[in-house]
A and B are shown apart, each in its own frame.
Chain A
Amino acid sequence: MKRKPIFQTYFRGVDWGLIICVLALSVIGFLVIYSATSHNGEISQLWKKQLFWFGLSLATMWIFSKIDYRFWMEASYGFYFVAIISLLVVLFIGDQTNGARRWIRFGFLSYQPSELAKLSVLLVLARYIGSKTIELYYLRRFFVLLFLIGLPLFLILKQPDLGSALLLIPVSLILMYVGGLRVRWLMWVILMALASLPLIWHFLKDYQRERLEVFINPQDDPLGAGYNIIQSVIAIGSGGISGKGFMQGTQTQLSFIPEHHTDFIFSVVGEEWGFMGAVVVLGFYYFMVQRIFDISKKARDREGALLALGIAGMFTVQIIINVGMTVGLLPVTGLTLPFVSYGGSSLMFSYAAIGILLNISYANRRPVLITGKG
C-alpha cells in the first residue's frame, strides 16, 4: 500500500468546510471591527486585541479538537455542578451593573457564570439524553430533564440575563425533541410556558420590559433601545446593494449606532458592504450550520450527535437573534454575533465549540477500536 504523506495522515478527517467558514467569518470580523472602531482617520487599536484573542482561540480550537469528546460527556455532571455553584455565588457577590448581577471578579479578570452554565446544560443534556434510549419514555425521566434545565434557567433569570435564557430554552427543546422525548410532553411544556408569560412579565426588571415594549413600538423610546433599532435599520437600509464601502458608513463612522463593534456589528456589515456583503456573511453562517448538522448526523454515538446538534442550535439561535435584532425583526437582547463581534471570551468559547465539533467529526471517520462506553 502506498504510504500517504504525513500531512494527509495528520489532517485526515478534518472538516475543512467548517474551518473555512469560521475563519472567513473571523476575517470579516476583523475588517468590520477595524472599520467600526475607527473615527475620522483615528485608527482604534481594538482590532489588535481581537487579533491576540484570535490567536488564543485558534490554539484553543486545536487543543479541543484533540480532546476526545467523550471526556466532556464523562465530565458533564462535574461541569454542571460547578456551573450551578457559580450561578449561586454570582447572585450574592456578583458585580452589579444595570441592576443585574452577572459577573464574578477575580482581581482584574472577570467571569460570567452564565457562559459556563449554557455550555454545561448542553453537555448534561447530551449526556443524559444520549446515554438513554427507551427509558426516555418514562415520565419521571422527563421530569429529571426539566429539573436539570430548570434549575440553571431559574438562576440565570434571577440575575437576570435574558439573553442567555433565551439561548438555553430553544437549545434544550431541540435536544429533547431530537433525542426522542414524546413530542406531546414538549408541547405541554411549551403551552404551560406560554400560559405563564404574564407571570414572567411580572418578574422582569424594568429595563427588560422596556426593551420588549420598545421592540413593539420603537418610537416610544427614541433615546434608548428604540434609538438603536431605528439607527441600525437606517444604517442597513442605506447600504443598498453594494454598500457605502469599507470605512465609508456614515451611520457607523458618526457613532449613530452605539455598540457597533459588539451587539450591532451586523449593521456595519449591512451599511458598508451592502446587501451583497450581508448575504455573504449570512451564507457563511448558513453553510456553517449545515456542516454542523452534517457532523451531528454522522456522529458515532447518540451523545456525540446530540452534542453537535446542541452546538448547532446555540450558534443558530445566537445568529438569528442578533441579526434579527439589527434588521428590526427581534427585540434587543444583548447577544453578540459569533466569530464577528468584538469580544475575547466569546470568541474563545465559539472556537472551543468548533474544536469539539472537529473531534466529533474526526472520531466519526476513524475506525472504531473501542466498543462500548469508555
Chain B
Amino acid sequence: MALRFPRGIKFAVSTEKKMNVLFGIVSLAFLVVFLKLFYLQILNYPYYRGLSDTNSLRLITARAPRGIITDRNGEILATNVPSYSLYVVPADLKSYGPTMVRLSQILDEPLSSLELTVESRRQRRKYEPIRLQTHLDENLIAQIEENRARLPGVYIQMEPERYYPHGELASHILGYIGEISEEDLTRLRENGYSVGAVVGKKGIERVYDQVLRGEDGGVQVEVDASGIQRRTLAYKKPVQGQTLQLSIDWKVQELAEKLLADQVGSIVVTNPRNGEILAMVSHPNFDPNEFVSGISYKDWGKLLKDKNHPLENRAIQGQYPPGSIFKLITALGALEEGVIDFNKVFLCKGIFWYKTWPYRCWRTSGHGWVNLERAIIESCDIFFYQLGLLVKIDKIHDTAKDMGLGNKTKVDMDSEVAGLVPNAQWKESTQHVPWFPGNTIQMSFGQGYLLTTPLQMLDVTSGFAMDGKIYKPHLLYKIVDQNTGRTVFEKQPEILRSASIDQKYLDFIKTTMEKVISSDYGTGKKARISGVRVAGKTGTSENPHGDTHAWFTAFAPAEDPKVSVIVMVENGGEGGVVSAPMAKRVMEQALGMDVTPWQTPTPVVPQETPGLKPAPVMGVAP
C-alpha cells in the first residue's frame, strides 16, 4: 500500500484505516442528503405538491424610498411622498374578462388600454406583478377594497414617490429618475438592479444612485386557488437610501436662478478653496417631477424638440468660445514665453492688417498705444492679435491645457463634455488644412475653434485665484445615514491640477483682474461691490447664431478668495453689461452680504457697431 510509512514505524499502519474513516464520513453525508430527499419528496410530497400546483406564493416588492437630497444647510431639494399604486398578477386573474371589465369601470380607463398592458404578460412572467396605475386616490382605494373578493389578483401597494419641492429650480443638478432601461440593466445587473427598478437617469440622481436607492423590501403572500390573497407569510421592510447633502447653498442657487430668469445661459458659483459648487444654474430648465411616474410621449417630445434644449446642462455640456476671458491665458503664455514684458506696448488704431486681412478692435476708434495691463483692463483686441502672433499657437495651446481647458473638470455629474483646445496638429488631422496665422489671431482672444464649458472657465478663474491650484469641482458635501443621522462620508477637497506659474505673473494677472473691476476704464465696472476687492474679466464672444454671448467671471475677495463665479448668457449681448451685474449679486449673496436690488442693465460702455465685416471673423469684445 502506497501510503504506508517505512517499515518499523508503528503509527504507519493506521493510514488505510484513516481513509476508511474518511469514506465513512463521506457515506454518512450522502446518507443525510438521501434522507432529506426522502423526507421532502416522499413524506412531505403532498404538502409541497400543493404549494407548487397552486403556485400560491406571491412576491410583491415594496419599493425603498430614495434617499433625501438637501443643500449644505439642510434645505430639502428632493424627497418622497406616499402614493398608492394598483398592481395585478396576471396568473391570478382567474376570471380574466369580468375582472378586467370591473377594473376598467373602477379606474375609469378604457378596457382596451388595460388589456393591452396585461395581455402581453399573461404567458411570460405571469407571476410578476404589473403596475397598472399610480396615484390612486382614497375614493378609488375604498372602491377596490370593497370589491376585494370580486377582484382576484389585484393588489394595492403604497409606494414612496419622488418629489422635488422646488420644481424646476436646480433641475440640472438633481436630474431625474425613471424606470431602468435595457442598456442600464446590462450595465448594472451585477449591482443588484432588476427589471422595473427605478433609477436615476441624470444628474445627482444618476451619479449617486447607489447611495440614494436604498434596498427594496417586499411581502410574500399566499393566495388561494382563486387568486385571493389569504395570508402574509413574510415581510421585509424596505430600507431608505442615504441622505445626500450637496455643497449647494440654496440661497445662492435661488438668487442665481432668479437673476438668469428666462434668459438662456448658465451661472456657476464655487468656493475656489475646495471646489465645492455653491450654485449651478442652467436655463432653460425642466421640471423633474414630470418624470417621476413616467413622462408622457408628448411632454418628452416637447422637451427634446425645444430648440433651447432644456435638458442640456449648459454649465458642463454647453460648449462656447470664451471670448475675451481667454486673453488672460494668452497673456500668461506670453509672459511665460518671455516674448513681452509688462512695459511692451502695441498700437491699436481700431483696425489691424495682417497681410491683406483686416482685423478690428471692438472699439473702432482704437485704444492708441496700450501695454498688457491696459489691454486686459480695457480688453483691447488688437493688442492681443499682435501678442498672439508673437506667442504662437503651441504655447497658447499648452497654457490653456495647463489651466484645464480641453479636459473634463471631473465634476461629479454625468455627460460632461471636454471642450476643444485646437492646435496645428488637430486642425490638420480633422480638417486637412494647415493652421494659418489667422487662426492664432482668433484663438488669442478666445474665438475661432476654441470651445469651453462655463465650468471649465470657472476653473480657470479659480486657478488664478488660488495661485495655480485648481480643485476638482464637486456637488457632494456629505452622505448622512438616514436612520442614525450620522455622517458616513464627507467629501474632501481634491486638487485636480496645479499649474506651476511664476508668482510674479500670477500677481500681475490678479491685480490686473482687480483693475478690470476697479478702474474707471475697466470693462467689469458693474461687478463692483463696495468694501470688497473683486477681481474679474469680461468676455463677449461672437458666434454664428446671432447676438454675442455675454461672459463674466470673477472671484472675491481678491486678497483672500472665498467665492468664484461665472456667468454666461447665450446671445445676451456684452459681458460687462449683462453678466457682470448678475455676478455681483451672486457674490454678495455667497459672501453673506446684503444683495443689491436688481435693475435692468443699461450699457455703460459706448456700444460700437462694427461696420463692414471682413472675411475672417473678427474681434469684438470687452
Residue B23 contacts which of A40, A231, A250, A290 (CB distance < 8 angstroms)? A290
Residue A305 contacts which of B3, B9, B22, B38 (CB distance < 8 angstroms)? B3
In chain B between 4 and 52, which residues have their CB closer than 8 angstroms to a CB of chain A? 5-6, 9, 11-12, 15-16, 18-19, 22-23, 26-27, 29-30, 32-34, 36-38, 40-42, 44-45, 47-49, 51-52
Q: When chains A and B are docked, how far (Å) is the Cα of A285 from the Cα of B29?
A: 12
A331: interface (CB < 8 Å): no
B602: interface (CB < 8 Å): no
B234: interface (CB < 8 Å): yes
Residues of B within 8 A of A300 (CB): 2
Q: Are A282 and B36 in contact (CB under 8 A)?
A: no
Residues of A within 8 A of B192 (CB): 98
Binary A-proximity of B166-190 (CB < 8 A = 1, otherwise 0): 0000000000000000000000001
Residue A254 contacts which of B9, B55, B218, B220 (CB distance < 8 angstroms)? B55
Q: Are B55 and A278 in contact (CB under 8 A)?
A: no
Q: Are B37 and A275 in contact (CB under 8 A)?
A: yes
A345: interface (CB < 8 Å): no
Q: Are B37 and A270 in contact (CB under 8 A)?
A: yes
Chain B min CB distance to A295 (Å): 11
Residues of A within 8 A of B19 (CB): 178, 293, 296-297, 309
Q: When chains A and B are docked, how far (Å) is the Cα of A202 from the Cα of B49?
A: 40
Residues of A within 8 A of B3 (CB): 178, 297, 299, 302, 305-306
Interface window among B119-127, B343-351, B414-422: B119-127
Chain B min CB distance to A303 (Å): 9
Interface window among A25-33, A109-117, A236-244, A335-343: A236-244
Chain A min CB distance to B243 (Å): 20
A75: interface (CB < 8 Å): no
Q: When chains A and B are docked, how far (Å) is the Cα of A221 from the Cα of B234?
A: 8
A247: interface (CB < 8 Å): no
B1: interface (CB < 8 Å): yes
Residues of B within 8 A of A39 (CB): 124
Q: How large is the interface on B (under 10, 10 to 19, 20 to 34, 35 or more residues)?
A: 35 or more
Q: When chains A and B are docked, how far (Å) is the Cα of A220 from the Cα of B33?
A: 24
Which of B26, B53, B55, B192 counts the most chain A CB atoms within 10 A? Answer: B26
A154: interface (CB < 8 Å): no
Q: When chains A and B are docked, how far (Å) is the Cα of A233 from the Cα of B40?
A: 8
B158: interface (CB < 8 Å): no
Residue A299 contacts which of B2, B52, B235 (CB distance < 8 angstroms)? B2
Q: Are B44 and A316 in contact (CB under 8 A)?
A: no
Residue B5 contacts which of A133, A238, A279, A296 (CB distance < 8 angstroms)? A133
Residues of B within 8 A of A226 (CB): 234
Q: Are A235 and B2 in contact (CB under 8 A)?
A: no
Q: Are A233 and B48 in contact (CB under 8 A)?
A: yes
In chain A between 225 and 271, which residues have their CB closer than 8 angstroms to a CB of chain B? 226-227, 230-231, 233-241, 250-251, 254-256, 270-271
Chain B min CB distance to A229 (Å): 12
Q: Are A238 and B33 in contact (CB under 8 A)?
A: no
Q: When chains A and B are docked, how far (Å) is the Cα of A180 from the Cα of B123?
A: 61
Q: Are A270 and B41 in contact (CB under 8 A)?
A: yes
A286: interface (CB < 8 Å): yes
Given A236-B40, A270-B41, A297 contacting B127 (CB threshold 8 A): no
A323: interface (CB < 8 Å): yes
Interchain residue pairs A-B with the least CB separation, the first 10: A237-B48, A238-B52, A222-B220, A222-B234, A275-B41, A237-B40, A238-B48, A240-B45, A97-B190, A219-B234
A-B contact pairs, 13 of them (CB 8 A): A133-B9, A134-B5, A219-B233, A223-B218, A235-B52, A237-B45, A250-B52, A255-B125, A256-B55, A279-B34, A296-B19, A306-B3, A323-B33
| Chain B interface residues (CB < 8 Å from chain A) | 1-3, 5-6, 9, 11-12, 15-16, 18-19, 22-23, 26-27, 29-30, 32-34, 36-38, 40-42, 44-45, 47-49, 51-53, 55, 57, 59, 61, 123-127, 190-192, 216-220, 233-236
